[in-house]
Structure 1
Amino acid sequence: MRVRIAVAVMAALLALYLVFAIRYGLVLLGVGTPVAIGLGVGMLVLPLLALGLTAAELVFAVRAEALGRRLEAEGGLPTEQLPLTASGRIERGAADEVFPTYRAAVEADPENWRPWFRLALAYDASGDRRRARWATRTAIRLSRARVE
């Protein structure tokens, strides 16, 4: 719940920023000098780019969360009880030990989103966030392409 509140606050702050940036961008365009016009265009384009990227991240998060809930409802989430560090994170060495199991499951059924999502969880537990996002995106793509 705390994450949702934080996302809502950040979205509200982004919306406020967009209002001011667009307003001042239009003011700068109205000045008419080449430098002001360039700055005005920048103040219009960059916030809209930020809005688009933020929207894409929110869509990714919603879809990934939906896949996680679906896999949990099916009883398909990983069941290993891995040791935790003092901070509450999974010990990387333990995560690395179970990782080959999830990679083999993906190799055995590469068109099924479930092994891909479990692989994403394994990447995340191992601390490889870039590959975790890649595997999650693959799982999302496969789940949307395959009606079950």
Structure 2
Amino acid sequence: MRAKITYFLTALVLVVYFVLVGSRGVLLIQHGTLLTVTFGVAVLILPVIGIWFLWQNTRFVSRANALAAELEAAGQLPVDELERDGYGRILRDSADEVFARRKAETEDAPDDWRCWFRLAVAYHDARDTPRARKAMQRAIALHEKKPVPAL
């Protein structure tokens, strides 16, 4: 729940920022000189890119959470079996061991979105965020029966 609140607040702050930046861009365009119109258009491009990025990220998180909820309802959510140090950090050897099992499981069933979801969690636990995201995108695509993105 804490992560959802943090995400919502961050998104809200970004939207306010995009509105403020966008309003400055409009003011520059309304000034009417070649220089201010050029800068105004350039300033407006940044909020558009930011809103697109925020939208894509929100869709990704929503879909990943939907998969997690589906797995949880079926009793198939990956169990946290990782060993941790005294500070609660995951031990690298433990993460590598779980990752190896998840990778083998996914290689045995490459069209099963559940395997890709568990592999994404294993990548995340091993602190490999880019691969975790790609594996989750693959799980989402398989679940939605869409063309699967290349890894």
Name the SS of the counterpart of 1:67 in structure 2.
Answer: helix
Measure the CA separation in 2 of the matches of 1:6 and 1:144: 28
- Contact 1:83–1:91 (CA under 8 A) maintained in structure 2: yes
**Residue 111 (structure 1) shift:** 1.0
**Residue 79 (structure 1) shift:** 3.2
- Contact 1:90–1:125 (CA under 8 A) maintained in structure 2: yes
- Residues 107 and 20 of structure 1: is their aligned pair in 2 closer, same or farther, counting only changes over 3 Å? same
The match for 1:79 is: 79
Measure the CA separation in 1 of the matches of 2:68 and 2:89: 19
More displaced, 101-110 or 131-140?
A: 101-110
- Contact 2:116–2:135 (CA under 8 A) maintained in structure 1: yes
Measure the CA separation in 2 of the matches of 1:55 and 1:47: 12
Instruction: Point out where structure 2 has 5 or more consecutive residues left out of the alignment.
Output: 147-151
Kindly provide the amino acid, as one letter, of the partner of residue 28 in structure 1.
Answer: L
The structure 1 segments of at least 4 consecutive aligned residues displaced by more than 3 Å after TM superposition are none
**Residue 80 (structure 1) shift:** 5.6
Name the SS of the counterpart of 2:89 in structure 1.
Answer: coil
CA deviations on 1:78-116 (whole Å, 9 max, x unpaired) are: 336221123323211111012221111111111110000
More displaced, 3-12 or 78-87?
A: 78-87
Percent of residue pairs bearing the same amino acid type: 39
**Residue 145 (structure 1) shift:** 0.7
- Residues 34 and 109 of structure 1: is their aligned pair in 2 closer, same or farther, counting only changes over 3 Å? same
Aligned length: 146
- Contact 1:92–1:127 (CA under 8 A) maintained in structure 2: no
The match for 1:139 is: 139
CA deviations on 1:54-98 (whole Å, 9 max, x unpaired) are: 111011111111111211222222336221123323211111012
Kindly provide the amino acid, as one letter, of the partner of residue 101 in structure 1.
Answer: R
Superposed, which structure 2 residues align to 1:62-141 within 5 Å? 62-79=62-79, 81-141=81-141
The match for 1:13 is: 13
Measure the CA separation in 2 of the matches of 1:29 and 1:115: 51
**Residue 120 (structure 1) shift:** 0.6
Measure the CA separation in 2 of the matches of 1:17 and 1:65: 27
The match for 1:25 is: 25
TM-score, normalising length: structure 2: 0.89
Kindly provide the amino acid, as one letter, of the partner of residue 14 in structure 1.
Answer: L
TM-score, normalising length: structure 1: 0.90
- Residues 31 and 102 of structure 1: is their aligned pair in 2 closer, same or farther, counting only changes over 3 Å? same
